[in-house]
Amino acid sequence: MKEEAPWVMRTYSGHSTAKASNELYRLNLSKGQTGLSVAFDLPTQTGYDSDEAVARGEVGKVGVPVSHIGDMETLFAGIPLDRMNTSMTINGTAAWLLALYIAAAERQGVDPKVLQGTTQNDIVKEYLSRGTYIFPPGPSLRLTSDTITYTVTQVPKWNPINVCSYHLQEAGATPVQEVAYTLCTAIAVLDTVKTTGNLSAAQFTDAVGRISFFVNAGLRFIEEICKLRAFGQLWDELTRDRYGISDPKLRRFRYGVQVNSLGLTEAQPENNVPRIVLEALGVTLSKNARCRAMQLPTWNEALGLPRPWDQQWSLRIQQILAYETDILEYEDIFEGSKVIEAKTIEIKRMAWTEVERVLDFGGVISALNYVKEQLVASLTERQRRINGGEQVVVGVNSFRETATSPLYNGESSSILKVDEEAERDQLTRLHAFRAARSQAAVTDALSTLREAAVNGTNIMPVSIRCAHAGVTTGEWAQALRAVFGEFRAPTGIGGAVVARVANGNGDGAERLEQLRSRVRKSADTLGRPLKVLIGKPGLDGHSNGAEQIAVWCRDAGMEVVYEGIRLTPEQIVASARDEGVHLIGLSILSGSHLRLVPEVMAGLKAEGLTDVPIVVGGIIPEDDARELRAAGVARVYTPKDFEMMKILSDMVDVAEAAHA
Amino acid sequence: MSIQRPPIDISTLLRFERKSIAAALNLLEDRRPARQAQALALLDDLTAFPAPAHIVGMTGPPGVGKSSLISRLIEIAACEDRRLAVVAVDPSSKVSGGALLGDRGRMQVPPHAPVYIRSFAARDRLGGLSREAFAAVFLLRHLCDVVIVETVGVGQSETDVVHIADTVVLVVQPFSGDVLQFIKAGVMEIPDILAVNKADDELLARKAMADVQAALSLERQAWARPVLAVSAATNLHLEDLDAAIRAHHHHLVSHDTLTPKRTEQTLAWATSEVLHEVGRRGLQTLGGPDGVKHFWAQQPAQWSERHRLDALLGSLHWHHTHTE
């Protein structure tokens, strides 16, 4: 029989500068990658130029900085956009980066009508998990709606949104929660598009057909196969029943995937390769629920940024699956399996019940706090199971004996270090770009942008105009901030998770009791109950770790100040001072720890708070950890430190020692 | 043993130096006997200075947007350079004793504005104010123009804020049926001002306002309690809320009721502290509320409320040891 064409193969990448990333992309394409997946840096994702104060230390760290059309052109130099399929992980500023992409294509002489690719553009999961939102829900959904409305007629092959289940799983969602909340987001988006009335019935039908998904797949890959089948069936039914789509082709559940990173370990990191392979099976084995595009994490993801060789290894996994195995030769191999069918139906039923619950709240935006609390509770439960040994993690809580690894010796030579010169280079070119552009054209374009933001006309045409005029990312976002305002999402940590942790049985529960009694006793040494501040400095919005620490500290009996994401070092210092905390815990996953932690320490010193110790958690390579400890950080925790009780009792030790 | 003087210079407090305020509040919370003595001395020293602050209680069920409203009030106060402090109380877990203090995350402070925010766990007061939180307000009222006390209040037993606030604002939201619950629970007797937050949806807001107004319709009081539809999200009627709060303060001052109100509140607070510490029988031993009042009046004029309370509870301890 005829073999099916393989999925689009990508690697999520980008770092340092547009030029460095362009070289990486061309290298990856030469190795047989069939699409691009652009990672943007945090300033670009949160709407700041590379030279703004909040961007300090974050430029080029977790992705490529794109401050203007010059960067976008450099990023795709020598890559013909009419023949490329580009996925852009961009949300808060999705409309802007799409505008820059379209403008860059136009400058290549490419008709936007032929452009293929995806903007992630899912703001709800940013509120729930990933943290790169800017505006409140209303204006944010309006921007999403604008991009959908625009592309459906002007860039018809574009996927304007990837509704994401990926980040929900990373935040702890069970398969049922993942399916349910993702569908709720899709409903919120399509309902918004429909309500605007800007599309004809036929155009709206097309728009429904352009909705795609970005999912996650974990190690329980049989259940994941069933989850994806359930996803597809529910989407088919939902689009038919809620939106009256009669053409089954437009109701197909089209998805791309990045497999699970939450389950990847820092301990014995070579074990991550088989984990990644098994996760990839979950999204490829079943023809009726196979991914359209795939990107795989790398074996050393829990250690830091991957090098080109690490990314190549992950690409090779995809190629071996597609070209060496026979998975593409068969019809759906699970058709008729009673086991798969029963599990699929169970997930469908439970997920739909949860969808209805959220719709009863008035939809996912009204239910934001509820949904976030559910996710935090699920992740806490997962942590509890791993800590109690109920869930085996090879090399972490079981089978820890290991020979010396020839791949990884604990040093940063096994990961990519972003060149600190890159930030300076980016700033130089940004200043040159600003100096060369016509200020009048920029001012003019920005005033039309503001007008469109206020009066509700589609943001895309004016944004493309801004792109050509030389408006920068920070200027575009600032103009909209002034109109829409900014948002802070719920932290979800107030949910009733105490009981679930406390009800854990056996050893875990006993150790928790011991810990609580230690925390109570520490009040004698400290004079008052142990009070800690958990802070997330910088632009990094990955708050799952900080939220877990906050919840566990509370459950251990501490008084915990937690203010959510995106705080400046100055804000953290002011809070620590005003609140009179005994200890500060900082969580940083963006790689900018060497910049942000010393800033917090300097601030504390200036306030005379030298007796307040700091512990830091994040993706921190060992030699960086050494540097932080040398600078006075009391403890550094990385993903291999999974034992919560140990971390918490450490924190008590550190606080007591500092205030004895 | 002579009491070591507090390691805090009062003039830095009066200049609203936040580092000193934080150190002072750390001291007030410290349970070690030597520090407690210093804390009482500090509060006593402060009684010599005026307490100009208007104390505003903001209460209401969880999730109605109290912190976001306070954030807007902070902005308004900052425009006029008024010194403002927030005492934000969150519940403590009965199981672990721990607490999540997340309110300040929802309060935006303009750079360089004279604002001080401190979070307190309710500890053993289940949603009310701990003794430390009261002490904090006693201190802060000497240093600020406004002290806002934010508490979760869903029933009459959780409304300790009436023992400290000159003005109580009850915040509700339109679609929750809160109002009806509050009437049942007697909470409606507490507020001086009602704010229906999240009033962007006019229809729901009007319905909620009607409910509230109906609940208040039989009143004949000197102060007609205003009911305001506000929204922290869209800045709806927030200046009106600020004005209403100030008008109530003016009302108290111009009717000469502020001082007697505070005296009454202090006695009620002391009585409830006695009840909390030693129960009904303990209060009886002290001669009931009248006994508390009598004892209070006997104490040296320069003693702070907190000092008098210690003396009151101490006298009871003496009682016990001598009758056993």
With a cut of 50, say whether residue B82 has pLDDT above it. Answer: yes
Interface check B98 vs A, CB under 8 A: yes
What is the CA A263 to chain-centroid distance, rounded? 15
Residue that finishes a domain, picked among A387, A421, A446: A387
Determine the distance in angstroms separating the CA of A277 from the nearest CA of chain B, rounded to an integer. Answer: 40
At residue B126, the pLDDT reads 65
- Beta-carbon separation of A560 and B99 below 8 A: yes
Q: Reply yes or no on whether the pLDDT at A14 is more than 60.
A: yes
Q: Which of A520, A559, A609, A611 has the highest number of chain B CBs within 10 A, making it the mutation to test binding with B?
A: A559
**How many domains does the structure of chain A reveal?**
2
Amino acid at A651: M
**Residues in A touching B62 (Cβ below 8 Å):** 494
Give per-residue pLDDT as tens, A331-386.
999 999 999 999 999 999 999 999 999 999 999 999 999 999 999 989 988 888 88
CATH of the domain at A512: 3.40.50.280
The arithmetic mean of pLDDT across residues A197-209, rounded, is: 97
Set of chain B residues whose Cβ sits within 8 Å of the Cβ of A498: 93, 95-96
**pLDDT above 70 for A504:** no
The secondary structure element, H or E, covering residue A562 is strand A559-562
B218: pLDDT confidence band, cut at 50, 70 and 90? Answer: low
Q: Does A502 have pLDDT greater than 50? A: no
**pLDDT class of B323 with cuts at 50, 70, 90:** very low
Confidence of residue B324 (pLDDT cuts 50, 70, 90): very low
Q: How far is A548 from chain B (nearest CA, A)?
A: 12
Calculate how close chain B gets to A580, using CA atoms only, in Å. Answer: 6
Contact at 8 Å (CB) between A47 and A58?
A: no
Tell me the nearest-neighbour CA distance from A559 into chain B, angstroms: 5
Residue A117 has pLDDT above 50, yes or no: yes
Pick the residue from chain A with its C-alpha nearest to B119.
A579
DSSP 8-state class, residue A54: G
**What pLDDT score was predicted for residue A157?**
96
Distance (Å) from the C-alpha of residue B189 to the closest C-alpha of chain A? 29
- Comparing CB atoms, the residue among A494, A574, A580 nearest residue B25 is A580
What is the pLDDT, as a whole number, of residue A2? Answer: 62
Contacts of B96 in chain A (CB under 8 A): 498, 502, 516, 554-557
Q: What is the pLDDT of residues A531-578, one digit of tens each?
A: 999 999 999 888 989 999 999 999 999 999 999 899 999 999 999 999
Instruction: Find, in chain A, the residue whose alpha carbon is nearest to that of B22.
Output: A578
Dihedral sign for Cα B198, B199, B204, B208, please: positive
| B246 interface with A at CB cutoff 8 Å | no
pLDDT of amino acid B1: 46
pLDDT single digits (tens) A392-403: 999 999 999 999
Q: Is some CB atom of chain A closer than 8 A to the CB atom of B93?
A: yes
> Residue B297 and residue B293: Cα distance in Å, rounded?
6
Nearest to A554 among B25, B63, B98 (CB): B98
Look up the domain containing A627 and give its range: 498-659
Is A406 inside a domain boundary? no
**In chain B, which residue's Cα lies nearest the Cα of A367?**
B63
How many angstroms separate the CA atoms of B54 and B164, rounded? 10
Question: What's the Cα-to-Cα distance from A71 to each of A47, A66, A97, A426, B260, rounded to whole Å?
Answer: 15, 5, 11, 9, 69
Ramachandran assignment for B177, one of left (phi > 0), alpha (psi -120 to 50 degrees), beta (any other): left
Q: What is the CB neighbour count within 10 angstroms for residue A135? A: 22
pLDDT given for residue B155 in this prediction: 63
A498·B106 Cβ contact <8 A? no
Structure confidence by residue, pLDDT tens digits, A436-488? 999 999 999 999 999 999 999 999 999 999 999 999 999 999 999 999 988 88
The answer as to whether A480 is a domain residue is no
**Is residue A494 over pLDDT 80?**
no
B45-81 confidence digits (pLDDT tens): 999 999 999 999 999 888 889 999 999 999 999 999 9
B116 interfacial to chain A (CB closer than 8 Å): yes
Whether A447 is in a domain gets the answer no
Which residues on chain A are in Cβ contact (under 8 Å) with B116?
A: 578
Segment A171-196, tens digit of pLDDT:
999 999 999 999 999 999 999 999 99
For residues A66 and A188, state if they share a domain. Answer: yes
> Helix or strand or coil: residue B89?
strand
Looking at residue A506, its pLDDT comes to 54
CB pairs under 8 A between A and B: 103
Task: Please answer yes or no on whether B97 and A557 come within 8 Å at the CB atom.
Answer: yes
Give pLDDT tens digits for B99-137: 999 899 989 898 889 999 999 999 988 657 899 999 999
- Please list, in sequence order, all residues whose beta carbon lies within 8 angstroms of the beta carbon of residue A475, skipping any fewer than 6 positions away: A49, A442, A446, A466
**Is A536 contained in some domain?**
yes
Structural domains of chain B sorted by starting position, each given as residue range(s) with its CATH number in brackets: 1-49 (1.20.5), 54-254 (3.40.50.300), 256-324 (no CATH)
Report CA A50 to chain centroid distance, whole Å: 20
A22: domain CATH number is: 3.20.20.240
Amino acid at A527: G
Residue pLDDT, tens place only, B150-185: 998 766 556 789 899 999 999 988 866 666 677 666
In a domain, A118, yes or no: yes
Query: Which positions of A are annotated as active-site residues?
Result: 12, 166-167, 536, 540, 542
Inter-chain residue contact B29 with A528, CB threshold 8 Å: yes
Looking at residue A429, its pLDDT comes to: 96
pLDDT for res B240 = 96
pLDDT score, position A496: 47
How confident is the model at residue A196, as a pLDDT? 93
**What mean pLDDT is predicted for residues B216-238?**
83
* Distance, CA of A78 to CA of A18 (rounded, Å): 13
Is A474 within a domain? no
**Strand (E) or helix (H) holding A380:** helix A368-387
Residue A541 forms part of a structural domain: yes
Q: What is the largest CA-CA distance in chain A?
A: 77
Q: B132 — contact with chain A (CB < 8 Å)?
A: yes
Q: What pLDDT shows up at residue B234?
A: 81
* A146 lies in the same domain as A276: yes
Checking if the pLDDT of A124 tops 60, the result is yes
Last residue of a domain, one of A352, A387, A422: A387
Query: What is the pLDDT, as a whole number, of residue B179?
Result: 67
pLDDT at residue B176, as a whole number: 65
Mean pLDDT of A110-135: 96
Do A578 and B118 make contact, defined as CB atoms within 8 angstroms? yes
Q: List chain B residues with CB under 8 Å of A527.
A: 29-32, 35
Sign for the pseudo-dihedral over CA of A597, A599, A602, A608: negative
In a domain, A407, yes or no: no
Question: Mean pLDDT, to the nearest integer, of B301-323?
Answer: 82
Query: What integer is the mean pLDDT of A607-617?
Result: 96
Contact A563, A597 (CB under 8 A): no
Q: Is A536 helix (H, G, I), strand (E, B) or coil?
A: coil
Residue B96 to residue A502, Cβ atoms within 8 A: yes
Select the residue from B38, B96, B140, B173 to test the A interface by mutation, using most A Cβ atoms within 10 A. B96
Average pLDDT of A230-251? 98
Contacts of A536 in chain B (CB under 8 A): none
Q: Which residue is closest to B16 within chain A, CA to CA?
A: A578
Beta-carbon separation of B22 and A520 below 8 A: no
Q: Give pLDDT, residue B159.
A: 74
Report chain A's mean pLDDT, rounded to a whole number: 94
Mean per-residue pLDDT, A22-33? 95
Q: Looking at the partner chain, which of A369, A527, A554 has a beta carbon nearest the beta carbon of B35?
A: A527
pLDDT at A53 over 90: no
Are A502 and A374 part of one and the same domain? no
Last residue of a domain, one of A387, A418, A451: A387
